[in-house]
Structure 1
């Protein structure tokens, strides 16, 4: 069956046969951008605080060096629970709809983030403080594991066939927007409450601000209609009884390869979103000892370049295909990896920003097309499970412990050269995984094309 054939859904029709309006589609794009921005703001606020203050406030008895490693480990621990969030969200999303999952994950993330801002430190309640901190980070991980799949499917499944890349980039740009917002508010608080004041109370304000953002995100998301692909599945009564079982019975290798594609991007992205560069540049015992405020502003500026390149890559993937866009992205990302630390190690904040800006161009090109790529890999009946679990596994293999690994490498070798080799290796893994996949840009997404969607997109395996 040719991928050029289109269903009413692919031509822009809803299951009832009416044409989906441009207003409906704009509302979906706006809702996915706002919702994912709020989710990732919450997630990145934690990572930023882990790099700047959590080591001192929650893990100080472990000693200065090991306390920071423990702080970064708590960033990674949440990733281990992303598959749980993905499994739960995938099951609920494939059986009860994408919209329900988006509401639940948003609320869970907001509650966990706000409670971190209210949490007493080790000096106040002892070992209970880091235990509670880890528990709340786990809740963030469960939420993040379920959020992404729902957001990207709402965007891509509402999109016209020839614009899935740019529609799919809408939840993707929520990540750099979340980083921009998180780093910007942290930088602002570092100016308003410098030094000891930041340690005492300044770091808490961004966490408490999450309450406002969650209310905004909830209001926006509740106005969005359910995915038309899911509505078609429901009308046809073709919902899979155990979508996760079906996914791993028929598509285990595809899940692994898709996860490795994301791992190659995620490990590099977590140099900033995981707080490593911020900590490395500002470490009082390190070689650079830069002021936190300008470093945070540099990270904020790099989030803008990441946002732009992500949107451009999504748009470009509609023109030249997902696979080709990714290949360009891996080359650009490798250039960014090689130039990052030589520029950071100058100790000049403008050169630090330049290094991050170059890096984020490649990051955007290996992230912008991901939503459309993933959605086009899996059959409609198990798509939520497929994209969510692939994403969660890729996050564990890539970003989960990337800041911890980088910190340990620097402490063991005394230089950042080993970190560069580590990041270059992850980039090459992502490239190889991409080369193993056929480009399925434009394949029909509706349930009436399930047989075509189920054909393996992996080179060397049968299409039928």
Structure 2
């Protein structure tokens, strides 16, 4: 086998990791704010009808994800043409600015129906910039790390999501103390968005100093000659994109039903008062971090597909009965904390294997494009799970948990199917993946 230039130019992964994970943290921070602010946004941006306002807020939040693949496509292609580092600088700057600007939006009582429409527009822009983060951030780190430890390094960067969620939850909690009672609905929620510019600035400073992917530098001339039609005309690449989207549809679907939905479920009807429901959510998020690292570590030893199959089966077996106890409010604070943590570990821990699983599907010339489309494409359907569930429950309210369980099984079957339809790539040298 011919030795590539890349094999002689090894970059220390630690020189890339901080800049890559900065985007994950910022992305998760932004997305998690909407999870946490659903009741507040519903009251401020919609007419006074709680049920419809909640569905409207979730719909705006979810519609954002339809535009993530647009960002994955635009910035993924850009990353393959002008470099991972340069493109990551653009996406993080855009994400930081739109997050900051959202804090200035007028509410329904001021401009009426224009309020949710403006929020909708801002979330679309957010989705486009956020969608551009994954393909480039994942690619630059995976191309820097050697095959034996690619799984655990992938889990380490994916851990930026629970870290970003935790950061958002902690700031949310802090702002509730700074702006108690109705003050939070007047001013406090805006500070959630304004503070979002800080991690973006820190991330930009780090990214400007990090090195470019040596593997991309070696292939950039070939990458510039490729067009999008070349990508989609290639049957193997199209197949890999489909299996990538399939996996991410299941993961996004289940994530919305568990960690995404916990703040609403735990606080519903005053089951857990503030801040106790938030303590449960923060603990569950931190435990999910262990799930990420464990799945990534295991994937380096028993394979990507095997880990995905095991985690999806365990999630079905354990998460449904445990969540039944939480949803039915049979548990107090301690029980909810323990069981929510177990559910988070099982249902979202599988995220840890995704960076290596996706990056090993695509050649360097189109890795940012393929990974960006594959990862974000799953959110088109996956993040509507909660909206679909709420709509069904509005007509069959006594059967809420039954529908919830069915929805979880559907999501896990997506993941299971993707694993079965994909080749095992553990130990693969990324330079050996050809067009």
Contact 1:282 1:291 in 2 (8 A): yes
Task: Provide the secondary structure at the position in 1 that maps to 2:223.
Answer: coil
Distance in 1 of aligned mates of 2:119 and 2:24: 23
**1:6: how far off?**
7.2
Report the count of equivalent residues. 429
Gaps of 5+ in 1: 455-464
Q: Residue 315 of structure 2 corresponds to which residue in structure 1?
A: 333
**Given the alignment of the two structures, is residue 409 of structure 1 paired with residue 389 of structure 2, yes or no?**
no
**1:450: how far off?**
4.5
Q: Residue 28 of structure 2 corresponds to which residue in structure 1?
A: 40
Task: Provide the secondary structure at the position in 2 that maps to 1:170.
Answer: helix
Structure-2 change in CA distance of 1:382 and 1:104 (3 Å): same
Distance in 2 of aligned mates of 1:292 and 1:431: 37
Q: Residue 381 of structure 1 corresponds to which residue in structure 2?
A: 365
Distance in 2 of aligned mates of 1:396 and 1:296: 28
Task: Give the TM-score, by structure 2 length.
Answer: 0.93
**1:364: how far off?**
4.2
Contact 1:184 1:297 in 2 (8 A): no
Contact 1:260 1:397 in 2 (8 A): no
Structure-2 change in CA distance of 1:271 and 1:145 (3 Å): same
Q: Residue 326 of structure 2 corresponds to which residue in structure 1?
A: 343
**1:292: how far off?**
3.3
**1:29: how far off?**
1.6
**Given the alignment of the two structures, is residue 429 of structure 1 paired with residue 417 of structure 2, yes or no?**
no
Q: Residue 290 of structure 1 corresponds to which residue in structure 2?
A: 272
**Given the alignment of the two structures, is residue 52 of structure 1 paired with residue 39 of structure 2, yes or no?**
yes
Gaps of 5+ in 2: none
Q: Residue 111 of structure 1 corresponds to which residue in structure 2?
A: 97
Distance in 1 of aligned mates of 2:346 and 2:171: 25
Structure-2 change in CA distance of 1:85 and 1:192 (3 Å): same
- What are the Cα deviations for residues 222-250 of structure 1, in whole angstroms up to 9, with x where unaligned? 1111111111112xx21243443222211
Distance in 2 of aligned mates of 1:391 and 1:58: 30
Distance in 2 of aligned mates of 1:101 and 1:341: 44
Distance in 1 of aligned mates of 2:348 and 2:63: 25
Distance in 1 of aligned mates of 2:231 and 2:373: 10
**1:206: how far off?**
1.6
In terms of fraction of residues, the more helix-rich structure is 2
Structure-2 change in CA distance of 1:318 and 1:430 (3 Å): same
Distance in 2 of aligned mates of 1:92 and 1:37: 22
**1:413: how far off?**
2.0
**Given the alignment of the two structures, is residue 27 of structure 1 paired with residue 9 of structure 2, yes or no?**
no
- What are the Cα deviations for residues 422-448 of structure 1, in whole angstroms up to 9, with x where unaligned? 1111111211221111101122212xx
Structure-2 change in CA distance of 1:365 and 1:46 (3 Å): closer
Task: Give the TM-score, by structure 1 length.
Answer: 0.88
Task: Provide the secondary structure at the position in 2 that maps to 1:222.
Answer: helix
- Counterpart of 2:379 (choices 379, 395, 403) is 395
Q: Residue 460 of structure 1 corresponds to which residue in structure 2?
A: none
Contact 2:308 2:419 in 1 (8 A): yes
Q: Residue 80 of structure 2 corresponds to which residue in structure 1?
A: 94
- What are the Cα deviations for residues 250-308 of structure 1, in whole angstroms up to 9, with x where unaligned? 1223211211111111111123554x32123323xx4x543232112211111111112
**Given the alignment of the two structures, is residue 192 of structure 1 paired with residue 175 of structure 2, yes or no?**
no
Distance in 2 of aligned mates of 1:349 and 1:90: 43
Q: Residue 165 of structure 1 corresponds to which residue in structure 2?
A: 151
Aligned pairs for 1:353-392 (under 5 A) are 353-392=337-376
Q: Residue 441 of structure 1 corresponds to which residue in structure 2?
A: 426
**1:85: how far off?**
0.4
**1:81: how far off?**
0.7
- What are the Cα deviations for residues 23-62 of structure 1, in whole angstroms up to 9, with x where unaligned? x32121222223311221112212321x22111100124x
- Counterpart of 1:214 (choices 184, 200, 217) is 200
- Counterpart of 2:282 (choices 292, 295, 300) is 300
Q: Residue 246 of structure 1 corresponds to which residue in structure 2?
A: 230
- Counterpart of 1:352 (choices 336, 345, 350) is 336
Aligned pairs for 1:133-152 (under 5 A) are 133-152=119-138
Contact 2:248 2:379 in 1 (8 A): yes
The Cα RMSD (Å) is 2.0
